[in-house]
Amino acid sequence: MDNILSQVFDACRLARELESNLRRANVPTDPHYLLGSCEEIAGAFNEAIHRLLAGNLFSYPSQMLSGEAPGSRLDPGAGEGSSRGTGYMQVPNLPGTPVVEPWGLEIKSAAPVGPSNYPGTPNTGVEPFVVGGGEPRLGAETALSGRRADGSLPHRSSRTRRDNGTVTRRVPALRTGNMEMPPDDGYTWRKYGQKDILNSRFPRSYYRCTHRSYYGCEAKKKVQRLDDDPNMFEVIYCGTHTCQTSPTPILIPTLVPSAIGNNMNDNDNDDGGGGGHQQGASPQSASIQLRNWLEGNPRNTRTLLVPRSGAGGSTSRQVGQQPGGRDMDDSVAELADAMFNSASSGSSMDAIFSPRQRSL
C-alpha cells in the first residue's frame, strides 16, 4: 500500500510541478511540453490505479484491469458520427487504458445489462456511473417522456448507455466551491427547470445545453442529489451535444500557456451567448481549449498522441471526432480538464487533489 501511496504522491508531485511551471510568467510555450507533462501525470495516476486494482482493493471487474475499454463492446454505435455525447460520457472507449474520470472517478463502465452497480464497488464515495435504470430512486430517468420528444435523441456516448440514450452517473459534490452543484463537466448548461421528485428529499434540476439555440444542441441533463448521500449527485445525461459538431472550426492558433484561461477564450467567439457573463457564456475552461488545440489544431503533432480516435468527452468544443475508443489521450485530456477547469471549483488543483494531498 505504501508503494501505491508513493505512486500517488509521485503523480501529485508531477502535477504540482506542472502547475507551478504553468503559473510562472515564463512558462514553456511548447504544447508538446504540456502534452508530455500531462501524459506523464496521467501515466503516474494510471499506474497508481493499476496498482490499486491489481491489489484487489476493490472488486473491480476484471475488464477494468485488463484495460479493456469499458463499454467498448457495449456500444457498437459509439463514435459513429458524433462521438460526443454529453459530458464526459461520450468519450469514446479504446482499449488499453483505465479510464480516469475528470472528477477523479474511475469510470465504471457498465455491464451490458444488469445491475447498475458492480458488486463490491468500493465505497470510496466514488461510485460508478450507472447505466440507466439501475438506480431505483431515479428510475424515472427513463421517463424522458416530456412534452417534447426532442430530448431523446439517440445518445452517442460510447460509454454505457441505455437504449433510450441516457447515461446516469454519480458524481461527488465538490469539496470546494459550490456544494449545491456537481462538478463542472466541461459543458455549459442552462437550467430550465426544477422539480420535486416523489420520495426524494432533493429536487431534480433540469439542464439543457446552453448552445441549444445556437447550435440546436439537444443535450440535456438532470441532476439530483442522492437522498442517502447528499454529497453525491446523480447526473442523467440525455441527448447528444451537437454543439460540438459545429462547422465553425474551433482552433487555437497558438498555444500560449499564459493564455490559458484568457486569450484562448477567443474560441468563445462562436459562443451563442454572444458575450454573456453567466455560466452559459462563461469562457470555456482552459482544459477545453487545450483539448481543442490538441485535437483540432491541424498543426498539432498528432504523432505525439497515443493513437486514438474521437475526442474526449467533456469539452463542448471537440472537433475532428472519429469513431473509436478512449485511451490515454482521453485521460490526459480529462486530467487537463480537472486541472484547469475552474468553472465550478475554487481551486483548479482542488479538482484533482484533496487539500491533504496538496499539502504533501
Q: Return residues touching DNA (CB under 7 A).
A: 140-141, 143-151, 188-199, 204-206, 208, 210, 220, 222, 273-281
Q: Is 348 helix (H, G, I), strand (E, B) or coil?
A: coil
In the DSSP assignment, the letter for residue 140 is G
Closer by beta carbon to DNA, 189 or else 233: 189
Closer by beta carbon to DNA, 118 or else 206: 206
Q: Which three cell numbers stand for residue 142?
A: 427513463
Least distance from DNA to the Cβ atom of residue 312, Å: 23
Least distance from DNA to the Cβ atom of residue 342, Å: 16
User: Per this entry, what is the length of the chain?
Assistant: 360
Least distance from DNA to the Cβ atom of residue 123, Å: 26
Closer by beta carbon to DNA, 119 or else 136: 136
Report in angstroms the alpha-carbon separations of 60 from 66, 108, 110, 207.
11, 8, 11, 32
Least distance from DNA to the Cβ atom of residue 135, Å: 12
Closer by beta carbon to DNA, 19 or else 268: 268
Which of 332, 323, 335, 336 has the alpha carbon at shortest distance from 94? 323
Q: Is residue 190 a contact partner of residue 206, using CB atoms and an 8 Å limit?
A: no
In the DSSP assignment, the letter for residue 3 is H
Half-sphere exposure of 285 (CA within 13 A, CB side): 30
Closer by beta carbon to DNA, 226 or else 339: 226
CB-CB neighbours of 160 under 10 Å: 28
Least distance from DNA to the Cβ atom of residue 280, Å: 2
Least distance from DNA to the Cβ atom of residue 314, Å: 17
Q: Which three cell numbers stand for residue 360?
A: 504533501
Edge-to-edge order in the sheet of strand 189-195: 130-131, 166-172, 232-238, 220-225, 204-209, 189-195
Closer by beta carbon to DNA, 76 or else 275: 275
Half-sphere exposure of 80 (CA within 13 A, CB side): 6
Q: Spell out the residues 6+ positions from residue 299 whose beta carbon is closer than 8 angstroms to its own.
A: none
Closer by beta carbon to DNA, 37 or else 284: 284
